[in-house]
Amino acid sequence: MASMQKRLQKELLALQNDPPPGMTLNEKSVQNSITHNPHGSSTCMQLSCCYDGRRKPEENEYCDMLRWIVDMEGAPGTLYEGEKFQLLFKFSSRYPFDSPQVMFTGDNIPVHPHVYSNGHICLSILTEDWSPALSVQSVCLSIISMLSSCKEKRRPPDNSFYVRTCNKNPKKTKWWYHDDTC
C-alpha cells in the first residue's frame, strides 16, 4: 500500500505541475485526508476519494478505490477542438501493477469509434497492454492522441449492444482490438 501511495502522490504532483496539453486535474476531485486502515489500528495518510456528489467517507472508513477527475479540452485543429470532457480515473490498491479504470464521465462523452456512449474507452493500454511503467500522464497523452487522430465522429458499431450488456467496470470487458484507425 505504501508504494501505491507514494506513486500516486508523485503522479498527482506531476499532473498538477506539468499536465499534458489540454488537461488539468480537477482539484475538487482529489484531496489529502487521514483515514484509518481497516487492517490495523494505525492511521495512514492517503489520497481520499472523489466525492462525486456522494457522501464523504467517515473518518474510520477506508477508501479502497481512489478517484481522480481530469478535465480535458479537445486539441486545436482536431474534430474535438474546444470541446470539454472529463476523464474519471479509479485506482485500486494494486496500482501501478494493476491498471487504473479510466472512462469518460459527465454530460459530454466524445463521439468516437473507440468511445462508447457510456464513457467506456476501448484502448489496449487500459487493459492487456498496461505496464507499471505507464502513468496517468501517459494514459492522458494516449487518449488525447486517440481523439486527435480521429477522422470521423461516430460511435463504435456495437455501441447499442455493448451499453445494454456491459459491466459497469470497463476493465471487466474482454476487448477485441480490431481497428487501429478512426
The predicted structure's pLDDT at residue 132: 97
pLDDT tens digits, 116-125: 999 999 999 9
- CATH fold for the domain made of 2-168: Ubiquitin Conjugating Enzyme (3.10.110)
Closest CA to 70 of 90, 98, 42: 90
What pLDDT is recorded for position 96?
A: 95
Per the prediction, the chain carries an average pLDDT of: 81
* Catalytic pick among 49, 50, 63, 122: 122
**In this predicted structure, what is the pLDDT of residue 40?**
43
- Are the CB atoms for 82 and 71 separated by under 8 Å? no
Greater model confidence, 63 or 121: 121
124 and 3 Cβ atoms separated by less than 8 Å: no
The CA-atom distances, in angstroms, between 92 and each of 8, 81, 120 are 11, 32, 18
pTM above 0.75, yes or no: yes
pLDDT for the residue 129: 92
Instruction: Give 50's pLDDT tier (boundaries 50, 70, 90).
Output: very low
pLDDT per position as a tens digit, 141-176: 999 999 999 999 999 998 998 888 887 776 766 655
Identity of residue 34: I
* d(C-alpha 162, C-alpha 157), whole Å: 9
Q: Hey, CA dihedral for 90, 46, 141, 20, is it positive or negative?
A: positive
122 a catalytic residue: yes
pLDDT value for 72 = 97
- Burial 35-68, CB ≥16 within 10 A → b, else e: beeeeeeeeeebbbbbeeeeeeeeeeeeeeebbb
Cβ neighbors of 178 (< 8 A, separation 6 or more) are none
Looking at residue 174, what is its pLDDT?
Answer: 63
